[in-house]
């Protein structure tokens, strides 16, 4: 990624869900460290955009481009997108009985970095990020 390239660049994106056109020409640039919020009524395409970004089956990019850190997302399978740092945070995440958030994060970070990370390291990183974000 060049110094001036956006972290995420979407240009003229058209997406169909199960053959039905949903998105028709979405353009979006998100710079490193920037925060963007997508708002709109039900059916306006927010979830379709998220599904297309993540490579969810049933959602087809019919036109346009999506680039993350300079990489063409259309050329990457879903698991490669997540390994490169693209993920979704859910508004109402599912609770899995017996699995703590800390344990879940430890496994996710370990899988992404391809080495085991201690619970203490995850906890310290989490506390640092909570302080930085004011939560």
Span 15-32, pLDDT tens digits: 999 889 999 999 999 998
Sign of CA dihedral 130, 133, 134, 135: negative
- Pairing of the two strands 71-72 and 8-17: unpaired
Q: Given this model, what pLDDT does residue 110 score?
A: 82
Q: Report residue 96 CA to chain centroid gap.
A: 21
pLDDT in tens, 33-60: 887 888 889 889 999 999 999 999 999 9
Phi, psi of 65 (to 5 degrees): -130, 155
Q: Where does residue 53 rank: exposed (0-12), middle (13-18), buried (19+ CB within 10 A)? A: buried
Closest residue by Cα to residue 101 from 78, 64, 80, 127: 127
Q: What are residue 71's DSSP bridge partners?
A: 68
pTM value is: 0.69
Gap between the Cα atoms of 85 and 99, Å rounded: 23
**28: helix, strand or coil:** strand
Q: Report residue 91 CA to chain centroid gap.
A: 13
Gap between the Cα atoms of 49 and 61, Å rounded: 10
Q: Given this model, what pLDDT does residue 49 score?
A: 96
Task: Compute the residue count for the chain.
Answer: 135
């Amino acid at each position: 990624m060049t110094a001036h390239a956006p972290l995420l660049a979407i240009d003229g994106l058209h997406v169909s869900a199960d053959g039905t056109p949903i998105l028709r020409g979405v353009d979006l640039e998100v710079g490193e460290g920037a925060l963007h919020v997508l708002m709109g009524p039900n059916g306006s395409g927010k979830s379709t955009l998220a599904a297309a970004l993540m490579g969810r089956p049933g959602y087809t990019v019919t036109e346009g481009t999506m680039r993350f850190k300079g990489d063409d997302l259309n050329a990457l399978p879903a698991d490669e997108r997540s390994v490169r740092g693209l993920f979704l945070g859910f508004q109402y995440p599912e609770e899995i009985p017996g699995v703590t958030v800390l344990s879940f994060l430890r496994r996710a970070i370990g899988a992404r970095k391809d080495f085991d990370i201690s619970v203490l390291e995850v906890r310290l990183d989490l506390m640092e990020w909570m302080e930085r974000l004011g939560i």
